[in-house]
Amino acid sequence: MKFCPQCGTLLQVVKKGTPSLRCPKCRYQKTINREETKQKINVYCGKSAEIAVIDKKAASLRQLPTVKVVCLTCGHTESETWNVEAADETIHSTITFFRCTNCGATRREAG
């Protein structure tokens, strides 16, 4: 990769006629030598980013409080709970969510 000495833009390869490099911005042009065409460019990449995979076992590590509420889906009596403020400006209420620790079914109650 070569950059334009006048404006710093990446030079593009022009294959028509004699091989050359041209700046698309300021039209600077430079012919390519035979030695430059044989150069190899090595590109090295760093380590790939690690991706976290969350499964049901990891979901059990949540730190939400649990309450005794009967699940309407499976009948289990323990659920995680959290509250969210309603976004409506006219009504100032809180929505309570319950997620069953057994089957994962989630329901909400406005209050």
Q: Where are the domains of the chain?
A: 1-41, 56-110
**pLDDT(59) > 60:** no
Rounded Cα–Cα distance for residues 97 and 49 (Å): 34
- pLDDT of residue 5 exceeding 80, the answer is yes
Per cent of the chain over pLDDT 70 is 67
> Residue 29: enclosing H or E segment and its boundaries?
strand 29-31
The helix/strand/coil state of 108 is strand
DSSP 8-state secondary structure symbol assigned to residue 101: T
Enter the pTM of the model.
0.43
Pairwise CA distance, residues 109 & 94, whole Å: 9
- Quick one: tokens of 6? 């006048």
Confidence of residue 78 (pLDDT cuts 50, 70, 90): very high
User: 56-110 — its CATH code?
Assistant: 2.20.25.10
